Amino acid sequence: MKVARLHGIHDVRLHDEPDPIPNKSEAVLRVTAIGVCGSDLHWFSESGIGDSRLARPLVLGHEFAGVVQTGELSGRRVAVDPAVHCGECEFCLEGNPNFCTSLRFAGHGNDDGAMRECMSWPVRHMYPLPDSISDADGAMLEPLGVAIHAVDLGHLKAGMSVGVFGNGPIGLLTLQMARLAGGIEIFATDILPHRLDAARQYGATTVIKADGSEVAQIMAATRKRGVDVAFETAGENAAVEAAIAATKPGGTVVLVGIPSDDRTSFIASVARRKGLTIRMSRRMKNTYPRAIRLVERGLVDVRSMVTHRFPLTESVRAFETALRREGIKIVIEP
């Protein structure tokens, strides 16, 4: 089978490798769609992410769907949760599998991801898709899960005002979830005009170019009050500081973005004097059933976010297109 492995910065090579052999808890999956995530771009352009560095040629890809080839789900189209938790540690038993002490994650560390024609993965992390959800839609359920979890952390209530700082795929999905949760005034900021256009399409009531004036514009629009909840989804300190500055006293800021230098900073006095609640978002937890229902009922639009598709043989082109921030979502289809 064909496999795309990352060997170093901007160095993805196609290999011929043996077909996977599943263990008793796994099934073989024919991969049909893989979303290119911002964290994949960190690996591609920096040879690592956060404090994790590339130690061996790695198969990236953690947003994926496919067709099961073996076992009880054979023939079914499924979306796949890339995070495999033990189910037995303190954090799993507390209902927080995203903090599992033995967590495995596709396309990270020692666990190869989905940028290959076939792979084996635990059956309990495969979610059958209804006919109305395409394979590419299925791959989008992972980033939607991240957005669902972020909005859960924000404790957003109907009638609140919201800021989404950074409107790439995660930001746009967070925006849609904030609208569903009852946000009636949603401010979206980004540096790219086409992303602002998309934010308006997906429900933002006000879009603002992130040129340094966004905080003043939000404060003016909210009569110097600020937003109730802010989501930082850009992975840039400028967005973090803007989110904190634009949030009302006693409000909540959820940090979702991953910074390239593994550091997040902001002016402490601003956050302290406002008594802000600042929450760090760690991937997602138990979101796939909710995500499937939301997409199946047309409450969240993931399909129109996929703007570019590439075969596995053009993986480098797919990553380079995503790095240039062209379109919204890049999908690779083996």
pLDDT of residue 146: 98
**Tokens 């495999």 found at:** 84
pLDDT of residue 78: 98
What averages of pLDDT result for each successive group of 10 residues across the chain (334 residues)?
Answer: 97 97 97 97 94 95 98 97 96 96 94 98 98 98 98 98 98 98 98 98 98 98 97 97 98 96 93 98 95 98 98 97 97 97
Superfamily for 144-280?
Answer: NAD(P)-binding Rossmann-like Domain (3.40.50.720)
C-alpha torsion 84→86→89→90, nearest 10: 40
Prediction pTM value = 0.97
Domain ranges of the chain: 2-140+302-332, 144-280
**Tokens 């299925």 found at:** 138
pLDDT of residue 260: 87
**Tokens 């061996």 found at:** 56
CA distances to 90, 99, 223, 254, 257 from 282, rounded to whole Å, are 17, 8, 33, 11, 10
Give CATH for domain 2-140+302-332.
3.90.180.10
Q: DSSP secondary structure string, 236-274?
A: -HHHHHHHHHTEEEEEEEEE----TTS-----HHHHHHH
Asked if residue 79 lies in contact with residue 129, where contact means CB atoms within 8 angstroms, the answer is yes
The burial of 209, by beta-carbon neighbours within 10 Å (0-12 exposed, 13-18 middle, 19 or more buried), is given as middle
Q: Amino acid identity of 260?
A: S
pLDDT of residue 251: 98
pLDDT of residue 59: 98
pLDDT of residue 34: 98
The two structure tokens encoding residue 72? 């009880």
pLDDT of residue 320: 97
User: How far is residue 271 CA from its own chain's centroid?
Assistant: 26
